[in-house]
Structure 1
Amino acid sequence: MKLIHTADWQLGKPYGRFEPEVRAALTEARFDAIDAIGKEAVRHGADHVLVAGDVFDTEGPDDRTIVQAISRMERHACRWWLLPGNHDFARNGGLWDRVRHRAGSSITVLAEAQPHEIEPGIWLLPAPLTHRHNLDDPTELFDSMKTPGSRIRIGLAHGSIRDFGTQGETKNQIAPDRARRSSLDYLALGDWHGTLNIDPRTWYAGTPETDRFQRDEPGQVLLVDIAEGRDPSVIPTRTGRFQWIRRSWTVNDQAGFDAECDQLLGSIDPASTLLELSLAGITSLTDRVGMLGRLENDVGHRVRYLDVRSGDLVGRPSEDDLASLSVEGMLGVAAAKLSASIETGGPDGLIAKRALERLFVEYSREDRA
């Protein structure tokens, strides 16, 4: 059989660090990812979509988030199996009762650790989380789940096989050999937001729409083909619209910086890219102002979002830079005094150096205006 394995939709994520226009685009893209998943399922003849936890970002999303999620899923001719994760864990009278109340027969909430025969002889074994952090391995129950007449056993869980440290959850630990221990033909996992292969029968799907600066690849789901007596075939398939990329450049002049910019812009879809850029190097003040100006007035208008970190890009005033200030009356007097302090050295010299750089930057901005 073929199925789609996905996880970590985190619908309703607030994206509080961004401006309203960017927040709105990122929020809508997460709903659009549901449609992309449904279309992939139909295109490949996958009758079932397994969502391995964190469908929602919190256990108390607003009604619009729930209705949007359900209506998007119900557009497509496949069955959706939703597992509570650590962000949207199962509790009586909570989120999942609200989902059940609104959802039709094509959507099943797996809030209890009970196996489901989803096709004749094909059993789905869910391990829903009932708390944000569980002390025990949530998949340990797979060993004792009865699946009479089973040809294929599929586990569905949310938790950490590895210690993901600050980049993921460290609770809800899952035995790395769970597929073998519990005689699973496939173990579909969620929690890690990138696609990750643990062994031939154990995979993290990652999120279908990337939501942080951790990795370059866009959001994906897994197309899984399972049959008796062999390892499953697993093919990652792109569903995400936005790409979050992080770059660190060491640059020493405007020409080198422009070459980096041109190469980057030629390799991405700027309107669908969020960019975190760190700059380092020693250059003239003229070039430093020019580099930051291009980022502000060109690159920043092309990409969806730009975060520039330029504290390690040092601009040193050249003789020409200082000469341009010397003809500006009081600016020239201030520049001369700062230059003298720099020559003296010591703590005051360091402060004077930064002040002179700032004076030139502000002067250059006014000159361009």
Structure 2
Amino acid sequence: MKFIHSADWQLGKPYGRFEPEVRAGLSEARFDAIDTLGRTAVDHGAQHVVVAGDIFDTEGPEDRTIVQAISRMSRHSCRWWLLPGNHDFARSGGLWDRVRQRASENIVILSTPEPVEMNPGVWLLPAPLEHRHNLEDPTARFDSMETPGATLRIGLAHGSIRDFGSQGETKNQIAPDRARRSNLDYLALGDWHGALRVDGRTWYAGTPEVDRFQRDDPGQALVVGLSTDAEPSVTPIRTGRFQWLLRDWMVSDQAAFDAECELLLGAIDAPTTLLRLTLAGITSLGDRISMLGRLENDIGHQLRYLDVRADHLVGRPSEEDIANLAVEGMLGAAARMLNTRIEGGGEDAAVAKRALERLFVEYSREKSA
């Protein structure tokens, strides 16, 4: 038995903090991931794709989001098994009734905790969430679920196998030894947004399209092979288009900064990369301005998105900077006064640093005009 394990599609996610062009690309990539999963199933000879919750980002998505999801799944030959999670939990008259009205025959909605025979002897045990936060282990019912003639038992659930802290999506706690307790050959989980092995029979698939600055890995799904009385074969497969990268650079001058830029651009596909970059170090004021200028006018245009944090990149005017300003009469006098305040520290130093930088920026603009 071979199948694809996926989770956390969160279709319809708004990405409200981004500009419209970026939002559109990120949203479309989530729908494209469905096609990637369908093709992956065919490529690996898998008849089924099981999705462990949070197919939709909310319990009330727009009709277009539902229709797009169904149309993407319908054009692939595999069978899709959809489990309600905490973002799209099951309730009477809610989202899943809307989906069911439009769904094609190859889409199965697992909105009730009842075992289903996927193939002869292969049973799927679902644990749909009926509320955003459940007080009890949603997989506890697996212990008593009857699966007549079962050769393989596959659990499907959405929740936390352990405390993921602020990065976890739910408070729905699942027993870490659930696979053993319920005699499962495999427990397919959703909630954690990266692929994660809990034990040989218990895995999180992660999201097929990453949606936050958390890890370098792109979106993934798992190709799972099962056979009786053997540990599952689990192979992560890249499904995501975009990478969300966190980088911290310690730079001392323009040359060091440029070297970091070249290393970055040589290692990524810039148009599909979102980068949160934190800069730190002490450099000349001129170099600081030049570095930030390159990020704004060059690197930022190459990447899909760039978020720069430069509060800890300290730009101090060099003697050459002051000398250049000094010949400008009043500008030079102002620069010397501000530099004295910076060197003296105290409450005014931070304000003086920003004022001197602004003065130097305006001076540089006038010189280049």
Q: Do the structures match in fold with TM over 0.5?
A: yes
Which residue is equivalent to 1:17? 17
Which residue is equivalent to 2:90? 90
Secondary structure in structure 2 of the residue aligned to 1:148: coil
Which residue is equivalent to 1:324? 324
Which runs of 5 or more residues in structure 2 are unaligned? none
Which residue is equivalent to 2:81? 81
How far apart, CA to CA, are the structure 2 residues paired with 1:106 and 1:200?
A: 29
Paired residues for 1:219-238 under 5 Å? 219-238=219-238
8 Å Cα contact 1:285/1:361 also seen in 2: no
Which residue is equivalent to 2:40? 40
Which residue is equivalent to 1:50? 50
Which residue is equivalent to 2:218? 218
Which residue is equivalent to 1:148? 148
Q: Which amino acid aligns with 2:25?
A: A
1:117 aligns with 2:117: yes
Which residue is equivalent to 1:2? 2
How far apart, CA to CA, are the structure 2 residues paired with 1:345 and 1:59?
A: 54
Q: 1:368 to 1:311 in 2, by over 3 A?
A: farther
Q: State which drifts further: 220-229 or 340-349.
A: 340-349
Secondary structure in structure 2 of the residue aligned to 1:114: coil
1:270 CA drift (Å): 0.3
How far apart, CA to CA, are the structure 2 residues paired with 1:363 and 1:220?
A: 50
1:364 aligns with 2:361: no
Q: 1:287 to 1:103 in 2, by over 3 A?
A: same
How far apart, CA to CA, are the structure 2 residues paired with 1:137 and 1:61?
A: 27
Query: Which whole-Å deviations, capped at 9, do the CAs of 1:87-128 have from their partners, x for residues lacking one?
Result: 000000000000000001100100000000010000000000
How far apart, CA to CA, are the structure 1 residues paired with 2:80 and 2:343?
A: 71
1:349 CA drift (Å): 4.5
1:168 CA drift (Å): 1.1
Which residue is equivalent to 1:204? 204
8 Å Cα contact 2:170/2:191 also seen in 1: no
How far apart, CA to CA, are the structure 2 residues paired with 1:345 and 1:191?
A: 48
- What is the number of equivalent residue pairs in this alignment? 369
1:342 CA drift (Å): 4.1
1:355 aligns with 2:358: no
How far apart, CA to CA, are the structure 1 residues paired with 2:299 and 2:368?
A: 18
Q: 1:68 to 1:343 in 2, by over 3 A?
A: closer
How far apart, CA to CA, are the structure 1 residues paired with 2:342 and 2:119?
A: 78
Which residue is equivalent to 1:292? 292
How far apart, CA to CA, are the structure 1 residues paired with 2:366 and 2:119?
A: 71
Which residue is equivalent to 1:162? 162
Which residue is equivalent to 2:259? 259
Which residue is equivalent to 2:241? 241
8 Å Cα contact 2:55/2:85 also seen in 1: yes
How far apart, CA to CA, are the structure 1 residues paired with 2:186 and 2:218?
A: 24
Q: What RMSD over aligned residues (CA atoms) do the two structures have, in Å?
A: 1.2
Which runs of 5 or more residues in structure 1 are unaligned? none
Q: Which amino acid aligns with 2:74?
A: E
How far apart, CA to CA, are the structure 2 residues paired with 1:56 and 1:129?
A: 13
1:329 CA drift (Å): 3.3
Q: Which amino acid aligns with 2:229?
A: G
Instruction: Report the identity percentage.
Output: 74
How far apart, CA to CA, are the structure 1 residues paired with 2:47 and 2:170?
A: 33
Secondary structure in structure 2 of the residue aligned to 1:236: strand
Q: Which amino acid aligns with 1:263?
A: L
Which residue is equivalent to 2:334? 334
8 Å Cα contact 2:90/2:130 also seen in 1: yes
Secondary structure in structure 2 of the residue aligned to 1:93: coil
Secondary structure in structure 2 of the residue aligned to 1:183: coil
How far apart, CA to CA, are the structure 1 residues paired with 2:175 and 2:151?
A: 23
1:133 aligns with 2:109: no
Paired residues for 1:62-73 under 5 Å? 62-73=62-73
Secondary structure in structure 2 of the residue aligned to 1:15: coil
Which residue is equivalent to 2:273? 273
How far apart, CA to CA, are the structure 2 residues paired with 1:174 and 1:101?
A: 31
8 Å Cα contact 1:3/1:41 also seen in 2: yes
Q: 1:278 to 1:110 in 2, by over 3 A?
A: same
8 Å Cα contact 1:114/1:145 also seen in 2: yes
Q: 1:368 to 1:32 in 2, by over 3 A?
A: farther
Q: Which amino acid aligns with 1:84?
A: P
1:170 CA drift (Å): 4.7
8 Å Cα contact 2:209/2:241 also seen in 1: yes
Q: 1:365 to 1:33 in 2, by over 3 A?
A: farther
Q: 1:340 to 1:189 in 2, by over 3 A?
A: closer
How far apart, CA to CA, are the structure 2 residues paired with 1:345 and 1:36?
A: 57
Secondary structure in structure 1 of the residue aligned to 2:347: helix
Q: 1:96 to 1:344 in 2, by over 3 A?
A: closer
